Amino acid sequence: MGRLGAGGMGVVYAGLAPDGARVAVKLVHDSLAGDPEFRMRFAREISVLTRVRGLCTARILESDADAARPWLAAEYVPGRTLGDHVRADGPLTGDQWFGLVVGLAEALVAVHAVDVVHRDIKPSNVILAPNGPKLVDFGIARALDGTSVTRTGALVGTPGWLSPEEYRSTSAGPAADVYGWGLLAVYAATGRPPYGTARPEVLALRVLNDPVDTSEVPEPLRELVGRALAKDPASRPSAREILAEASQAWRIDGTDELTTRLDHTWEPPVEDVSWRKEEEEEQAGQEEQDSPDKQGEQGRRETRKGGRRRGVLAGTVAVAVVGVVGAVLWSLPDGAGLFAAPSSTPRSTPPSAPVSTPPSSPSTVPASTTLSTPPPPSTTPATQIRPEAPETTADLAAALDLALTMTPSASFSYEGGFTQSSAVATVTGRVVNRTAHAGRDDFDIRIGGDEFDDRHVVVRDGVLYPGKKNLLSLKAGTAEWAVLMVAGTAGPSVIGEVVANSTRMERKGHTYSGTLAVDKTNGLLRELLDSWMGGDVMKEGSRSYLTYLLTTDTHDRPKAFHLVWSFPTGSAGIYRADFTTTYSDWRSAE
């Protein structure tokens, strides 16, 4: 009877049940129907949805997870999404706002009562239906009984609407939904996303570090909304506590009074659109007769109470409750998370994350000289429109962090050394960024040069093989010291540190340039400079500085990095050391 929408999981069609009731039918994509794991996920979703019963949720009517193309039919929920309404008409006020927040609290109580976590509370998943707000789309819900089959390492959700614990890659329980309730309460009251609009990685940093401004939330619930938005999930109230306090503030008691109050005060935007697209012209006269202006107040009351009109009440795209997954799926390596915003001050190098245990023999390269990275999920993420290139050092550093988390491994070639010396190396191989914030990268390389014998070496967790030597113990002038030079100037984590701490950054397309004072260096780069100077570089080289030229691809991954250390020497001019690296074939697994 017409197509309502589509998403990463399937297509949603309008339909009629045998009794004439309007329904929304989700038919999964052919490409997913043959995937046994997907069928398990789909069956789990149906099981989740059928367990949820609430005034402000919708019902699953029929389903068949074993069909050639699995499908389910759900109660059709006409109406604008909260997001569409706010964009068109601005914030909700008075009874409309209270009806929304109380109704959504009731929905969360119903969801959590059957040990389910929604995990995607956002404006597009709330419908302002004729009889009240409806929480829809359980496409990424998780049952607390352990039946979730979301792939390990997949950060699922919508940027800016995730809870802090989800960004930290910890388990998302009912408190994550409570956090989403708080975000929606602020959004509905202000008409603005609580964390603004920005690139996904920037939003992640804001969620983790910035408080939400609740000053425009109606005073009776301002404190409650603030508690719901606590960064620590243990400090948030439960959905039941929220429902009790919000109901008291709205002067109602129980579900029956909520139904009555919504019936008398709820005024959703009402416009007529045709249900059967092929009958639009035939229905035109009937729709005019049934329009809100013709019906008057009594007609709207009858509609809220379940009366079936031929015209659908919803002046926007009708959203089905069947859970078309429109959330962004970010595929991350196991245990990966997004961290605090880059600082403008130097950061010390914390211990790196564990990697494969190196061999005990100091005389051989580890048995497997290929650096492995976690395999990527096989699911295809929803199509995204690439935002513009980052504009600031903070945005670029955050973009690099996210890009390296998703695709940490690359082939690279390198040439660099200290001018007026024979310490020049040429290198080819692969690098794996194990954890950008720990300042550690793993290398599998062949290294050569005038001062260095051609050799194959591996660096894992800061240890050089063969020889099993700590990188930081290597001394300038030794044949192995070139490995520290490569790690300190070509590692992806070093690029992130240089960008984060630099000043006067300029951008042209995806090419960036900037300056870094030597006192702002840290990690392996600082260790390299100290090693070359035979002590603290600040004692003799406090006037020295670094400049860089970085080119990234459209996914914010490094393509070329040219780092120059300039050391003023008085009348002798400026001593320079140049290091140039090119990167290719970024991937998440090998």
- Residue 181: Cβ within 10 Å count: 27
363: which DSSP letter? T
Contacts of 75 (CB under 8 A, 6+ apart): 23, 24, 58, 59, 60, 61, 321
Burial class (CB in 10 A: 0-12, 13-18, 19+), 77: buried
Tokens 């990685």 belong to which residue? Answer: 201
d(CA 575, CA 154): 47
CA distances (Å), 125 to each of 50, 163, 181, 435, in order? 18, 16, 12, 34
Residues contributing to the annotated binding site for ATP: 26
The whole-angstrom distance between residue 169's C-alpha and the CA centroid of its chain comes to 11
* Binding site residue list: 26
* Angle 161-162-165 from CA coordinates, rounded to 5°: 155
Those residues whose C-beta lies under 8 Å from the C-beta of residue 589, and which sit 6 or more positions away, are 372, 373, 374, 375, 376, 409
Any residues with CB less than 8 A from the CB of 491 and at least 6 apart, and which? 431, 433, 439, 440, 441, 443, 524
Dist CA 562 CA 572 (whole Å)? 24
Place of tokens 């079936």: 308
Those residues with Cβ within 8 angstroms of residue 87's Cβ, 6 or more apart along the chain or in another chain: none
